Amino acid sequence: MSHYTANLRDIEFCLFDLLRREEILGKSVFKDIDRETAMGMLEEIKRLAENDLGDSLIESDRLGVQFNKETGDIKLPESFKKSYRAYMDNEWWRIDAPVEIGGTLIPASLRWAIAEMVLGSNPSIHIYASGTAFAHVAYMLGNENQKKMAKLMVDNDWGATMQLTEPDAGSDVGAARSKAVEQSDGTWHITGTKRFITSGDSDLNPNIIHYVLARPQGARPGTKGLSLFLVPKFMFDFETGELGKRNGIYVTNVEHKMGLNVSATCEMNFGEKEPAVGYLLGDVHHGIAQMFKVIEFARMMVGTKAIATLSAGYQQALSYAKVRVQGPDLTKVADKASPRVTIINHPDVRRSLMVQKSYSEGMRALLLYTASIQDEILIAKADGADERLADLVALNDLLLPIVKGYGSEKSWILLGTESLQTFGGSGFTQDWPLEQYVRDAKIDTLYEGTTAIQGLDFFFRKIIKDGGRALALLGKEIAAFAASGGELAEEKTSLAKSLEDLNTMTGAMVGFAMESQESVEEIYKTGLNTTRLLMSVGEVIIAWLLLRQAEIAIAKSVNPGRDSDFYAGKVASAKFFVRTVLPHLRAELEIVLSETGDLMEVPESAF
């Protein structure tokens, strides 16, 4: 067994009890999958994750990547390559490939449940293996030659990267300076430098297709002037896939990171040694819209990675707390001869464990709830239900920054302040995997848009631009549940009050934005609180999902069988979360309502 323990029981509960995914299996686009098949896939990936995949996590972190600056090539540890091959050779890549080129269509909820176990056991495997997901984009949006390229990517296990960030642009993608010049044969020559490029090179794949945003010569400034180009590491024959000469894209530096060390994060240079030949995706200049197909997948992946790591950290902390003997029971501390107890019996350790349990299980439910919306989108498209489709797409768009921003921020904080803390001084050593979990998880709050950027996107694009429609749909569903009474009536009343506070907070921030039409500085009052709103919405959704799970657990407790403790834990974690977390929303509301924007008047020299 490796460091990793998957929580398959909770995944199964989320999929089939909470989200009732069995209702969509065997029907419509998912007609070839039933519950038995889905569980078989989950059980097999659990076995793989807990053994073959997780085996190399720690060694590959210690060894890192080897970079040859002369050739621009990167080599990975043999143990990691063995784990990667176990994933690819078992053909898990098929769940991301289009059916037309050898893929297997499964519900998004099942796909991300599988991904949780891969990302929790060894996240870099999933990251390097995302070439198939990139191929999906090339197949769906590309011209006939690019569809052939997509099939070659799938058949030959070619890697892929997404290349947006530049040294002088950072998150301001529209400030990118990379240039593209069209050639007489219809190809483009790319010049420029990109930075922080994940999987920029490795010796895992015979070829890599780089998805590069660059500005065609004469195109307008800003993001809308960018186009998306497919730039191979090696040129190739579109019919046979035979590799040809080296293309003019090279790694010029590898970042020295605090974590995720086996994932090569690179600086890339185009066109310095020889022309970097690229192909315009779909023969259209819709670069940023096309790249967002990749970005949305990446943001879902980042949130899943973070949530999976918190779950892994909680499993480690829980196991340790059950065996680590230290100190007497608090009620017997005056008796110096009283027996020592395991630390799970100490009140603050127990509090810490319940914090970890409620958040890790609540955020898993958030992740799979979001994925279930993606299931419904596929079904609505197949059924031609356009009106329903619009609402589903808006709801998915609303939830993505919560999965990514809220999921990564909460996971990173809790891994350090609760999971690692459970181990005391031992957690700070490399004797336990928690120190690596903490290092590896920090990147999740940073890449694919920092938490602050997720907050801005959430408010201005997913609420204001949408006219609040998706948020209102979600709020209506939460409110109906909160008003449904039953054994959890008291907790549901608390949820209703928090939802009301959240609506007031949102209304106040919309008001700030409207006032900025008359006095532009008022927009600062919104900008100072967008992350606060994102996190507050996340808390309300988690409370709602935990209470829904608790209600199901209460109903099933009539005949619990061997699951009595599991159901008791569901009820306990929901009540704990509502009692200890939701009250903070009132304070967050008061902060928003009292916002003056004065912070923006403080001179830089005063900081």
Which residues have a catalytic role annotated? 448
- 3-state percent helix, strand, coil for the chain, nearest multiple of 5: 60, 10, 25
Q: What does the block give as tokens for 290?
A: 């096309």
Question: What counts of helices (H) and strands (E) characterise the chain?
Answer: 21, 14
Nearest partner of 61 among 43, 51, 76, judged by Cα: 76
DSSP reduced 3-state for 77: coil
Q: What does the block give as tokens for 537?
A: 């919405």
Burial-class residue 516 by CB neighbours within 10 Å (0-12, 13-18, 19+): middle
Distance CA 596, CA 601 (A): 10
3-state secondary structure 435-459: HHHHHHHHHHHCCCCCHHHHHHHHH
Q: Are strands 243-246 and 234-236 parallel, antiparallel or unpaired?
A: antiparallel
Burial-class residue 239 by CB neighbours within 10 Å (0-12, 13-18, 19+): exposed
3-state secondary structure 348-367: HHHHHHHHHHHHHHHHHHHH
CA 59 to chain centre: 24
Contacts of 472 (CB under 8 A, 6+ apart): none
Distance CA 595, CA 530 (A): 12
Burial-class residue 100 by CB neighbours within 10 Å (0-12, 13-18, 19+): exposed
Which residue type occupies 535?
A: M
Q: Are strands 234-236 and 276-280 parallel, antiparallel or unpaired?
A: unpaired
Distance CA 606, CA 107 (A): 53
Write b or e for each residue in 334-354: b if 16 or more Cβ atoms lie within 10 A of its Cβ, otherwise e.
Answer: eeeeeeebebbbbeebeebbb
- 201's enclosing H/E stretch is none
Q: What does the block give as tokens for 523?
A: 């927009």
Distance CA 573, CA 359 (A): 9
3-state secondary structure 364-396: HHHHHHHHHHHHHHHHHHHHCCHHHHHHHHHHH
Q: How far is CA 35 from CA 31, 41, 566, in A?
A: 11, 10, 21
Distance CA 531, CA 20 (A): 32
Q: What does the block give as tokens for 469?
A: 């429609």
Provide the sign of the torsion angle of the four alpha carbons 310, 92, 396, 391, taken in this order.
Answer: negative
**DSSP β-bridge partners for residue 276:** 190
